[in-house]
Amino acid sequence: MTVAHSRSRSRSRGVTPIAAALAALALGAGASCVWWLGSLGSARSGQASSEADAAQILSAAKAFHVQHENGCPTLSSLKEEAFLSRNVRGDDAWGNRFRISCKGGELTVGAAGPDGKPNTMDDISASR
């Protein structure tokens, strides 16, 4: 048997351990990318729905504010007095409670956002 014939035979024996490891790494990287893109999409969806909820609460708070001669509402008072549907969630997409602030004649509705910490860059906010 010649050396060339021996090499050809060893190549046809199957997948080398290095090739198998590279394939596993590629599959893992692909799965990670799919997961990351999916979580990015759900975060954006949560952000959009929370911003819509904040705008709806702000609209109700404005109506309350006018009718109650500049009184500052709570989520409970908005629902009790039918300014806001009882079905509207009082939390953002990450479970943080919306808060209503009436400082200096400005109405603001906000929640802590994805990180759960108030007064950070990812907060949900709507104001007049």
The CATH number of whichever domain residue 110 belongs to comes to: 3.30.700
Domain count, the chain: 1
Output the six-digit token pair for 70. Answer: 């500049």
Q: CA 17, CA 14: separation in Å to the nearest integer?
A: 10
Q: CA 124, CA 84: separation in Å to the nearest integer?
A: 19
pLDDT at 18: 76
Answer yes or no: is pLDDT of 46 > 60.
yes
Question: Pick from 60, 54, 70: which is nearest to 105 by CA?
Answer: 70
CA dihedral 36, 37, 39, 42 (to 10 degrees): 170
What is the pLDDT averaged over residues 99-117? 92
The model's pTM is 0.64
pLDDT at 33: 43
Output the six-digit token pair for 73. Answer: 């509402």
| 100 DSSP β-pair partners | 109
Which residues form the domain of 27? 3-127
